[in-house]
Structure 1
Amino acid sequence: MKKTLLALALVPALFASAVHAEIATYAIDPTHTFVMFEIDHFGTSTNRGRFDKKEGTVQFDRAGKTGKVDITLDVTSISTGTAPFDGHLKSPEILNAAAYPTARFVSDKIVFNGDKVTEVTGQFTLLGKTHPVTLKANKFNCYMNPMVKREVCGGDFEATIKRSLWGASYGLNYGFSDDMRLVVQVEAVKM
């Protein structure tokens, strides 16, 4: 009787470890991952830039339809293609890269529709302030990469945030939009 009870007690533990085994960890590929931003400029054009240095991981369980994302951006690596504009964006007036050299997105949920990822919800920290952000998936896929011989998962995601929530209010009094569009192209390689 005791052996039967012990065996029954072990079934949930074995099931839990089997489910846990489905979770895979992927490293962000910095050569195929780009985090870009767009801000309206007086309703005439769009200022664009990107963060050239980024790192992070993705934990993904396709069968369990769960996962986590953790991406850190090096704010000092901001690049618009124009050095003076980069310097202005890094200044205390806008992103204050000296005081806040990193920005970070940490997800708390990956949302699926069937087998496809549709959005990633989480917390975005910029200028020392953290607020929720939902990244909508425009595209998502996993494939066996023939060059690195490992599985790669990724997609195109985007969100529009109110930058003033994080304290990036420069230009609002001139008529610049408070909306900042984030565009995230990410690929991560299974470790």
Structure 2
Amino acid sequence: MTVAFKLMELNMKKLLVLIAVLGISVTALAAPEIYVIDGSHTMPRFEYNHFGYSIQLSRFDSTTGKITLDRQAKSGSVEVEILSNSVDTGSAAFNHDIQSADFLDTGTYPTINYKSTKVSFSGDVPTSVEGNLTIKGITKPVTLTITSFHCMTHPMLKKDACGANATAKINRSDFNAGKYAPYVSDEMTLIFGVESIRQD
């Protein structure tokens, strides 16, 4: 066996090892990433027109869920659960009213849920989420438009984290919560500011 042949054989083995390593790396990069919603920085809000006087803004204080992203495959999923009795209008009396059967009926329906059916991407950045929103046991399709998306290592937790802002519009009467419409606007804007931490 010549020296040249031995060198060729050695280089071929090195090339095969390199291909194997690269293959593993690509597979690892392509794996879906799972992020758990950070409830301390995720408080969905909703706004509506109040008798034409003003735009009122309220929020929910308890949200859990997870986000799955596969940016290479341009796919993902979103699952969110909101405790309906965590609604915070800024007024204790109004909190009580909005939890009544006329609106959220939180005694009968303790959670509000959203589950995606499709995540759309531009490059490796998600731009919208199609899914089903369930309020008071009524499920309707709702599309979230993502207005910003950002991922980086969390400076305090030292873990990968992603955040996004998204909006959608719904009619509250579609969910049997239309009391006082149209004087209090039927249409509501949902505003989601979400932060999530990657699961190891």
What band does the TM-score fall into relative to the shorter chain?
Answer: 0.7 to 0.9
Structure 2 equivalent of residue 53 of structure 1: 62
Structure 1 equivalent of residue 4 of structure 2: none
**Could you tell me the TM-score, scaled by structure 1's length?**
0.87
Structure 1 equivalent of residue 83 of structure 2: 74
Q: Is the 8 A contact 1:19 1:64 kept in 2?
A: no
Distance 1:121 1:19, change over 3 A: farther
- SS of residue paired to 2:41: coil
- RMSD (CA atoms): 1.9
The reply on whether 1:108 has 2:117 as its aligned counterpart is yes
Structure 2 equivalent of residue 99 of structure 1: 108
Structure 2 equivalent of residue 156 of structure 1: 165
Structure 2: distance between partners of 1:86 and 1:98: 13
The reply on whether 1:126 has 2:135 as its aligned counterpart is yes
Structure 1 equivalent of residue 195 of structure 2: 187
The structure with more strand, counted as a fraction of residues: 1
State which structure, 1 or 2, has the greater radius of gyration over its C-alpha atoms: 2
Gaps of 5+ in 2: 1-22
Segments of 4+ in structure 1 off by > 6 A? none
Q: Is the 8 A contact 1:22 1:62 kept in 2?
A: no
Gaps of 5+ in 1: 1-13
Q: Percent identity?
A: 37
Which residue identity does 2:151 align to in structure 1?
C
Structure 1 residue 47, shift from structure 2 partner: 2.0
**Could you tell me the TM-score, scaled by structure 2's length?**
0.83
Structure 2 equivalent of residue 8 of structure 1: none
Q: Is the 8 A contact 1:24 1:61 kept in 2?
A: yes
- SS of residue paired to 2:40: coil
Aligned residues: 176
